[in-house]
Structure 1
Amino acid sequence: MTRIRVANAPCSWGILEFSGLERDRISSSQMLDEMRATGYEGTEFGDWGHLPTEPEQLGELLEQHQLTMVGAFVPVAFRFAEGLASAEQEVLRLARLLAAVATEEHTPLLILADENGTDSRRTGNAGRVTPEMGLTADEWKHFARNVEQLARLIRDETGLEAAFHHHCAGFVETPAEIERLLELTAPELVGLVFDTGHYLYGSGTNDGQVVSDGFARLLPRIRHVHLKDCHPGVAAQARTAGWDYFTALAQGVFCELGQGAVPFADIVQQMRESAYAGWIVVEQDILPGATEEPRESARRNRDYLRTLGL
């Protein structure tokens, strides 16, 4: 049986991609110490500059903590017709670093995403997006073409694979939008990072069956899995009160694993039955003012996954 390996991510220690939401940052060495001590085997890269950006230093730090680099997240404004000139060098810089710390057992994944949280309408309506808030037909063409172009560049220049991460407060949030992007992109170039919490909140419902059904339907394109839970009570309140994405995030819409509506046991069973060979990555966004220490939250999330046989 293929063994599913469990990683965590710097966002679980407050190292977030959104400016102004970062906690006081602990050192990268302490973060990796705590990640390994709480039972994880790998990490994602996080924001540029928190972990070392020189291959030798990064490799040594990962080896010191017995952790595998599994991938890195990079947001890009894909919908604009002018293309990717401003993003290509930044993305290649990251891809080359990941390629330099690849091991015989694992080559990291470059995780592409929209420039989430930058469009006021999408940010203001995250979790309750309607079709008229979506991309136009021309914007979809630009978006898909640019994703493919960047994925091809990453592959040709570094040998790394790319996969797209759907995300609330971006233009690929709802199940219909995720499937539209996959229809418009080549499977050999663009895989999918399936995020359980974003999928549920982005669906506009609190029904965990939506996540199970979506995972099953999209499984042929899934290359990487982010485990995040979604609290139905907070999600319902966010929709009723009209909270924007960042308010919902601060109020705990993405709760610890097992505390929300995501049916993790079913997702894990589907992965086992399909011989899923990728990593699963826990993401527990820790925000400024949070009373819980990241280490203890990470430990509880890891303990929960052990109840599922992971």
Structure 2
Amino acid sequence: MNIKIGSAPDSWGIWFPNNDKQTPWERCLNEMHEAGYQGIELGPWGYLPNNYEQLKAELDKRNLSLTATTLVGDLTSSEKTDELIALLDEMSAVQLKFPTAKYVVLIDDCYTDLFTGELVRSPQLNDEEWQHFVANIDRIKDYAKEKYDLEVVFHPHAQSHIETEEQIERLLQDSDINLCLDTGHHAYTDGDPVEFMRKYHQRIPYLHVKSCDLAVREKMKTENWSFAKAVSEDIMCEPEKGVVDFEAFVQVLKDIDYHGWAVVEQDMYPAPFDKPFPIAKRTYDYISRLLEE
């Protein structure tokens, strides 16, 4: 087993390239390094320096490796898929210069407005819409592989068109794309990430690590909160505090001899500047301890 523990700007409350409520990127990188992390996802394009020389210098002096880039968009739309491919082209000019960054994490847009909770798309896709949706996913996956030799991994996400275990399994049947399993989002829809990882580990080369507080989820449902409101109330929480059995999850990683990145990616927005580091440090220490036991 060779597991490297990374983090992501999301764990510092970073959702946008520029936003006054967000931690400055220098502080984010400094605190990731201080907490002990080995790698970092790029996060929203434009938050971290997107000039290769500057980015490499900043990561090198903090002993951080780039692990992946991220694409988020409405995958039911061919036009939005075209835009994601254009963004992939732009990001790849930087990503390809980092030999550790082999992955592109692909996420479908939420079918609700993040901040109002209003439905902006139908939560369900009919068979024809599903086929078009999967075709768009495969188009991005195949393009990234053929042109750049990058692996696109699909990230199921709360309030998107692939959030439940049933939907994830349907995608795995209808496409040969692999997954970025996010333990917190998986638990959000009452999935069991421990057994899912055991069953489908050959299709899961990349991990996002966090947990979910189901008491907050129930309050979200009762009070009709938006996803952003639920995030601000810590619906996604550090591994030691949520519903996911991380001792059992790490045991599965040992049983299957998992090799790869486990990226701590705890949804947090907005985040007071002094909030992320203690959580990040506790999480790194907790996961490291489980891996060493």
Length-normalised TM-score, structure 2: 0.90
Written as runs of structure 1 = structure 2, the 5 A alignment for 1:293-308 is: 293-308=275-290
Written as runs of structure 1 = structure 2, the 5 A alignment for 1:216-255 is: 216-255=198-237
Q: 2:95 aligns with which of 98, 102, 106?
A: 98
Counterpart in the other structure of 1:111? 105
Counterpart in the other structure of 2:187? 200
In structure 1, runs of 5+ residues without a counterpart are 126-131
Counterpart in the other structure of 1:3? 2
Secondary structure of the 1:110 match is strand
Deviation, 1:123, is: 5.1
Counterpart in the other structure of 1:128? none
Query: Which contiguous aligned blocks of 4+ residues in structure 1 show a shift greater than 6 angstroms?
Result: none
Query: Residues 243 and 59 (structure 1 numbering): CA distance in 2 closer, same or farther, change over 3 Å?
Result: same
Is 1:173 the equivalent of 2:170?
Answer: no
Query: Residues 159 and 87 (structure 1 numbering): CA distance in 2 closer, same or farther, change over 3 Å?
Result: same
Deviation, 1:251, is: 1.5
Distance in 2, matches of 1:306 and 1:59, equals: 26
Look up the equivalent residue of 2:247 and give its one-letter code.
Answer: A
Is 1:274 the equivalent of 2:237?
Answer: no
Look up the equivalent residue of 1:86 and give its one-letter code.
Answer: E
Q: Contact (CA 8 Å) 1:99, 1:158: kept in 2 or not?
A: yes
Counterpart in the other structure of 1:30? 27
Cα deviation 1:106-163 (Å, max 9, x = unaligned): 343111110235568x9568xxxxxx94211111111111111111111122111110
Cα deviation 1:234-262 (Å, max 9, x = unaligned): 12222333333222212111122211110
Q: Contact (CA 8 Å) 1:83, 1:146: kept in 2 or not?
A: no
Look up the equivalent residue of 2:45 and give its one-letter code.
Answer: W
Distance in 2, matches of 1:289 and 1:76, equals: 23
Deviation, 1:27, is: 3.0
Q: Contact (CA 8 Å) 2:210, 2:236: kept in 1 or not?
A: yes
Distance in 1, matches of 2:196 and 2:259, equals: 19
Q: Contact (CA 8 Å) 1:124, 1:243: kept in 2 or not?
A: no
Written as runs of structure 1 = structure 2, the 5 A alignment for 1:15-54 is: 15-17=14-16, 24-54=21-51
Look up the equivalent residue of 2:193 and give its one-letter code.
Answer: V
Deviation, 1:16, is: 1.4
Identity %: 29
Q: 1:75 aligns with which of 69, 72, 76?
A: 72
Secondary structure of the 1:59 match is helix
Look up the equivalent residue of 2:232 and give its one-letter code.
Answer: A
Q: Contact (CA 8 Å) 1:165, 1:195: kept in 2 or not?
A: yes
Distance in 1, matches of 2:215 and 2:49, equals: 39
Distance in 2, matches of 1:53 and 1:146, equals: 26
Secondary structure of the 1:287 match is coil
In structure 2, runs of 5+ residues without a counterpart are none
Secondary structure of the 1:65 match is coil
Secondary structure of the 1:112 match is strand
Distance in 1, matches of 2:280 and 2:188, equals: 22
Secondary structure of the 2:267 match is coil
